[in-house]
Structures are given as C-alpha cells and as structure tokens.
Amino acid sequence: MQPATAFVIDRSPIQERQSRRGTITLCTTQGVNALLFATLASYTLATSDGSFSNWIAGLQFIVVVCAATAIATQLWTRSVLRTMRGLRLVMTPQGVTYTSAAGTFSAPWSAVKKVKVGGRPNGFGAFTPRLTVHVPNWGGPVGRFIMFDRLTIHLTGTGIDANQVAHAIHVLSNGTRRVTGS
C-alpha cells in the first residue's frame, strides 16, 4: 500500500457565497438598527422635558455607537476574508499549507498547536462540520486575526467527512498530531 503524500481540502463555492451573503445581511441589519436608534434618540432629545428623557436618549446613542462598531468590525473581517478567496488547505508529511488569493503560507507539523474537527448546528437542526487548524504566528490573512491564529474551513460541500480528515492528519503527521473534537 502506497503511503499518503498529501490531503487537500478546497473551500466549496457554496461556502464562498455564504460568506459574502452573511456579511451583506449583517451589515444591512446593523445599519438599519443604527439608523432607527439614531432617529429615536434624536426624537427623544427634541421632545424631552427632563433628565430622564436625556438619559434614555444617551442610552440610545450608545446603542448607535455599538451598532456602528459592529458594522466596522464586520467590514474589517470581510476585507480579511476577501483575501481568503479560493482557499485550499494542503496537508503533507512536512506540514500544513494554506493557499488563497493572498498567497501561500506553510507551517511544519511541529508548529501546529491543535487540530480540531467539530461543528455547530446551522439553525435548521443540521450539523455544520468544520476543521480548525491552530498554528501560532502562521502569517497571511490568518495572522491578521491577532488573538486567534486559526484557520477554519467548513467541510460542507467539500465531499470530505471528519473521519477522513482525522485519519489523514494522523497518517501525514506520523502520529504526532491528534485531532480533537469540539
């Protein structure tokens, strides 16, 4: 039997589209909320006759600032994720490499801190499996998320299941890395 030389996971086109759609939906919702609360706060201030109304308007302006911060964070995240288009994760006996629109970034197995296959409910009772590879100081777009240094790729639509990933990592890392569950 021939030893495995590489295991490749490409992000599915479905995941690419869902990433874009999620950003648009979230930013639109947050923008409408911010506009609604700004209008409400302005109306409260314009018609106020006491300190309680001013206090309520102040809370409404805080909500506006929080919504604006959420929009800015989402747009920044989107700019990072845009560089992750065409994501491909390649595991070889030497280590792990991810390639995207931003370039190619590699790490040896010794630098891989943790590999996790898990998931979460997608809101309709189904389970969305994903692979997370944690490599401190990996670089590239993953390194721009300062506290995380993790690459997460959803397995939905890739034709690969969690057991295949766990087996490939065990074989390719020569047993030095173990896949944990979520």
Section 106-134 average pLDDT: 80
Assess whether 93 and 64 both reside in one domain.
no
Assess whether 32 and 67 both reside in one domain.
yes
Which is more confidently placed, 123 or 12? 12
**Domain assignment of residue 123, yes or no:** yes
Section 30-39 average pLDDT: 80
Task: Give the model's pLDDT for residue 124.
Answer: 60
Task: Give the model's pLDDT for residue 126.
Answer: 61
Domain that holds residue 61: 15-82
Q: Which of 56, 82, 108 is the last residue of a domain?
A: 82
Span 153-176, pLDDT tens digits: 888 778 888 888 888 888 898 888
Assess whether 99 and 163 both reside in one domain.
yes
Please give the mean pLDDT across all residues of the chain. 80
Assess whether 22 and 104 both reside in one domain.
no
pLDDT of residue 1 exceeding 70? no
Section 12-34 average pLDDT: 75
Assess whether 165 and 177 both reside in one domain.
yes
Span 124-158, pLDDT tens digits: 656 678 888 988 888 777 776 665 678 888 887 78
Span 43-75, pLDDT tens digits: 777 777 767 777 777 777 888 888 888 888 878
pLDDT of residue 30 exceeding 60? yes
**Domain assignment of residue 2, yes or no:** no
Q: Which of 53, 82, 111 is the last residue of a domain?
A: 82
Task: Give the model's pLDDT for residue 148.
Answer: 67
Q: How many Cα atoms occupy the beta-carbon half-sphere of 182 within 13 Å? A: 14
Assess whether 128 and 66 both reside in one domain.
no
Section 21-25 average pLDDT: 74
- Domain harbouring 141, CATH code: 2.30.29
User: At residue 130, what are phi and psi to the nearest 5 degrees?
Assistant: -150, 155
Assess whether 151 and 78 both reside in one domain.
no
User: Model's pTM, two decimal places?
Assistant: 0.69
Assess whether 114 and 151 both reside in one domain.
yes
Number of domains in the chain: 2
**Domain assignment of residue 28, yes or no:** yes
Assess whether 93 and 156 both reside in one domain.
yes
pLDDT of residue 98 exceeding 80? yes
**Domain assignment of residue 1, yes or no:** no
Assess whether 130 and 169 both reside in one domain.
yes
Section 66-91 average pLDDT: 82
Assess whether 168 and 91 both reside in one domain.
yes
pLDDT of residue 2 exceeding 70? no
